Amino acid sequence: MSIKRNEFCGALVGASALLIFQGCGGGSDYSTSPAPPPPATGCGASGTSIAGNHGHVLTIVRADLDSTVPMSYSMAGTAGHDHMVTFTVAQLQQLKAGASVTVTSTPASIGLAHTHDVTATCV
């Protein structure tokens, strides 16, 4: 037995609707307390959160927020040169708590001697 494309699509839509409606019932099995916020999925800075940005991107590894030593990161991105930024243990803890933290990068290489103020956040 063969099934035509439109028959298959119709069956697929019907099955999807059944799954959706099964999850829409009432009842009192659900807690009335608010759900905890989701954990931060990414930390760092890009775009306008890096002053004078021209292609830099900062990514902070989530596990680093529990570090007991300062952590340094490259933020080269697509800029064609690199800068480093360092976060103290206290700043990493602030990021973990949901605060934004601003640090100043190291100067770029000779001939491009400039820095950037970088405001990092975790979302």
Q: Is the pLDDT of residue 118 over 50?
A: yes
- Cα–Cα–Cα angle for 48, 52, 53, nearest 5°? 60
pLDDT confidence of residue 35: 42
Give the pLDDT band (50/70/90) at residue 4.
low
pLDDT confidence of residue 14: 47
Q: Is the pLDDT of residue 116 over 60?
A: yes
Q: Is the pLDDT of residue 5 over 60?
A: no
pLDDT confidence of residue 104: 96
Q: Is the pLDDT of residue 121 over 90?
A: yes
- pLDDT tens-digit series, residues 12-66: 444 443 333 334 344 444 334 444 444 546 799 888 899 999 899 999 999 999 9
- pLDDT tens-digit series, residues 62-93: 999 999 999 999 998 998 889 999 999 999 99
